[in-house]
């Protein structure tokens, strides 16, 4: 694999999502502190280490009421390898030092009362592999599913939205699917565009049912439809839910049929919930590529967390997808627990107690297996202290792809950006680069 760096890391040939959603998540999950008094530094600021390279983590503490802190270090988000109470000073003290001979994800957290700080790193990331084997009939399974989907005559219902804006139109759209639920979302496009002139943008959503971030919105579809010289944009909700309904509708789904949907049928391949979700992805892409305005070249899928996982899945399911922007993506390396690592959200193998039935069933829906031989460009953001979607799981997935990878590893980021003091740094060095990538793609 070839590597070259920019701020944190950009992967080469072997080896991010929505601004409004990202800022909303930061607002919700950021801490109200004025600034952390505990400061961690790594010997390699990128958080990326070669096999055998010395790792040194230092801590300085300003205005602390105590002269010692608790240090916890975890390997692969599954095994605590160090836990000590250590002395610190304002000048800085080495609190952890080690080397690892091969792939390893390391997270370090220090705590003093209610104050805390954390940093993460990864060793030899290009050599992470899926924790279980790709099923022998994997390609045959998905070939059958896509054949059945395309055999079903496409039936599309489109209801125009009011106030879409001059020069653009937006529709509340439903597309039948073998899912079993239909694909539903908002579809926006320029009113008068030439044939073969527009790229496709598919927006996909983070986990949940009744949160604002789970719902498709006309404004999101229209924002991307206006980019560049115009685009065909579909904001797809993950569950085939009706759009624009009262809150009670979504609350009832969350408490009823979609309660813990991510484990539904996880021990039976044909009943696993994600099968329907992935087929709705494929159906929506088929709908969008049937539009006469599509330029026949560009398709980008954009999402965060569960949406990031869907973006990677789309890049693996459909060779027409040319780019995926995946921020802290889920659904990666569910077999990780079988190799002593934490799997990506929702970590079904671990949740089942490493059940062989679950391992076999979910392996057909793992982005780590779907990405094999994909040639789409992947723009991926990885939080190196993310316990929900661990770095090891994401690398195990994207390492299977044959396309270009642009990867930003963020040592101070968990699944959200809880360490508020890094917000401006993150905006400048990660978020802006993601936005630039999307604009360049849609220019």
pLDDT of residue 27 exceeding 60, the answer is no
pLDDT band at 28 (very low <50, low <70, confident <90, very high): very low
pLDDT of residue 326 exceeding 70, the answer is yes
Pick from 10-24, 246-260, 398-412, 413-427: least confident: 10-24
Q: What is the reported pLDDT for 23? A: 34
Nearest C-alpha neighbor of 200 from the set 291, 285, 299: 299
Q: What is the reported pLDDT for 67? A: 75
Q: What is the reported pLDDT for 400? A: 98
Residue 6, exposed/middle/buried by CB under 10 A (0-12, 13-18, 19+)? Answer: exposed
Two tokens at 79? 């095994």
pLDDT > 70: percent of the chain: 90
- The helix (H) or strand (E) run that includes residue 349 is helix 348-351
Is 138-441 a domain of CATH 3.40.50.1820? yes
Span 404-416, pLDDT tens digits:
999 999 999 999 9
State the DSSP string of 203-268. E---S-SSSGGGS--HHHHHHHHTSTT--EEEEE-TT-PPSS--HHHHHHHHHTTTTTGGGTTTTS
CB burial of 280-294 (b: ≥16 within 10 Å; e: otherwise) equals: bbbbbbbbbeeeebb
pLDDT of residue 9 exceeding 90, the answer is no
Reduced 3-state DSSP string for 102-133 = CCEEEEEEEEECCEEEEEEEEECHHHCCCCCC
Q: Which regions of the chain carry the CATH code 3.40.50.1820?
A: 138-441
Rounded to a whole number, what is the distance in angstroms from the first to the last CA of the chain? 29
Q: In whole angstroms, what is the distance from residue 8 CA to residue 26 CA? A: 20
Q: Which regions of the chain carry the CATH code 2.60.40.10?
A: 36-124
Q: In whole angstroms, what is the distance from residue 415 CA to residue 207 CA? A: 12
Q: In whole angstroms, what is the distance from residue 320 CA to residue 281 CA? A: 13
pLDDT band at 113 (very low <50, low <70, confident <90, very high): confident
Q: What is the reported pLDDT for 17? A: 35
For residue 346, cis peptide bond before it (omega within 30 degrees of 0): yes
Nearest C-alpha neighbor of 127 from the set 412, 313, 398: 398
Residues 6+ apart with CB under 8 A from 309: 303, 326, 329, 330, 331, 332, 344, 345, 367, 389
Nearest C-alpha neighbor of 129 from the set 424, 426, 392, 411: 392
pLDDT band at 63 (very low <50, low <70, confident <90, very high): low
How confident is the model over 208-230, as a mean pLDDT?
97
How confident is the model over 332-344, as a mean pLDDT?
98
Residue 301, exposed/middle/buried by CB under 10 A (0-12, 13-18, 19+)? Answer: buried
pLDDT of residue 35 exceeding 50, the answer is no
Q: From 3.30.70.20, 3.90.580.10, 1.10.357.20, 2.60.40.10, which CATH number describes the 36-124 domain?
A: 2.60.40.10
Q: In whole angstroms, what is the distance from residue 37 CA to residue 49 CA? A: 27
Residues 6+ apart with CB under 8 A from 368: 130, 332, 333, 334, 335, 393, 396, 397, 400
Contact 362, 354 (CB under 8 A): no
SS3 169: strand
The model carries a pTM of 0.91
Contact 64, 115 (CB under 8 A): yes
- The helix (H) or strand (E) run that includes residue 185 is strand 183-190
Span 121-173, pLDDT tens digits:
999 999 999 999 999 999 999 999 999 999 999 999 999 997 666 899 999 99
Q: In whole angstroms, what is the distance from residue 443 CA to residue 440 CA? A: 5
């Amino acid at each position: 694999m070839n590597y070259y760096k920019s701020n944190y890391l950009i992967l080469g040939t072997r080896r991010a999502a929505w601004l409004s959603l990202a800022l909303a998540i930061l607002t919700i999950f950021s801490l109200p502190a004025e600034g952390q008094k505990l400061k961690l530094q790594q010997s390699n600021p990128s958080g990326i280490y070669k096999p055998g390279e010395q790792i040194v983590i230092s801590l300085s503490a300003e205005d602390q009421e105590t002269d010692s802190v608790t240090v916890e270090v975890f390997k692969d988000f599954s095994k605590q390898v160090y836990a000590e109470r250590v002395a610190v000073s304002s000048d800085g003290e080495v609190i952890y030092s080690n080397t690892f001979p091969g792939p390893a994800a390391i997270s370090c957290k220090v705590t003093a009362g209610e104050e805390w700080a954390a940093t993460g790193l990864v060793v030899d990331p290009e050599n992470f592999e899926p924790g279980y084997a790709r099923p022998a009939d994997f390609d045959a399974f998905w070939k059958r599913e896509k054949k059945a989907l395309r055999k079903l005559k496409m039936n599309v219902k489109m209801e125009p939205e009011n106030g879409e804006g001059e020069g653009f139109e937006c529709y509340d759209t439903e597309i039948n699917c073998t899912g079993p639920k239909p694909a539903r979302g908002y579809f926006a496009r320029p009113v008068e565009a030439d044939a073969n002139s527009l790229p496709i943008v598919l927006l996909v959503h983070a986990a949940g049912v009744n949160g604002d971030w789970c719902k498709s919105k006309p404004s999101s579809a229209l924002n991307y439809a206006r980019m560049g010289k115009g685009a065909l944009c579909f904001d797809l909700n993950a569950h085939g839910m009706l759009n624009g309904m009262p809150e009670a509708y979504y609350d009832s789904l969350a408490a009823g049929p979609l309660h813990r949907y991510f484990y539904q049928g996880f021990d039976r391949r044909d009943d696993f919930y994600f099968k329907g979700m992935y087929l709705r992805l494929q159906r929506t892409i088929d709908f969008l590529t049937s539009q006469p305005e599509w330029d026949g070249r560009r398709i980008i899928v954009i999402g965060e967390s569960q949406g990031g996982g869907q973006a990677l899945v789309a890049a693996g399911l459909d060779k027409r997808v040319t780019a995926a922007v995946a921020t802290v993506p889920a659904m990666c390396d569910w077999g990780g627990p079988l190799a002593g690592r934490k799997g990506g959200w929702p970590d079904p193998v671990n949740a089942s107690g490493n059940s062989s039935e679950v391992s076999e069933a979910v392996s057909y829906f793992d982005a780590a297996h779907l990405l094999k031989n994909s040639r789409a460009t992947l723009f991926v953001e990885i939080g190196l202290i993310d316990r929900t979607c661990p770095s090891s799981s994401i690398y195990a997935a994207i390492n299977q792809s044959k396309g270009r990878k642009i990867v930003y590893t963020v040592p101070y980021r968990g699944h959200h950006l809880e360490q508020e003091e890094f917000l401006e740094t993150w905006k400048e060095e990660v978020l802006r680069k993601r936005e630039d990538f999307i604009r360049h793609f849609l220019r």
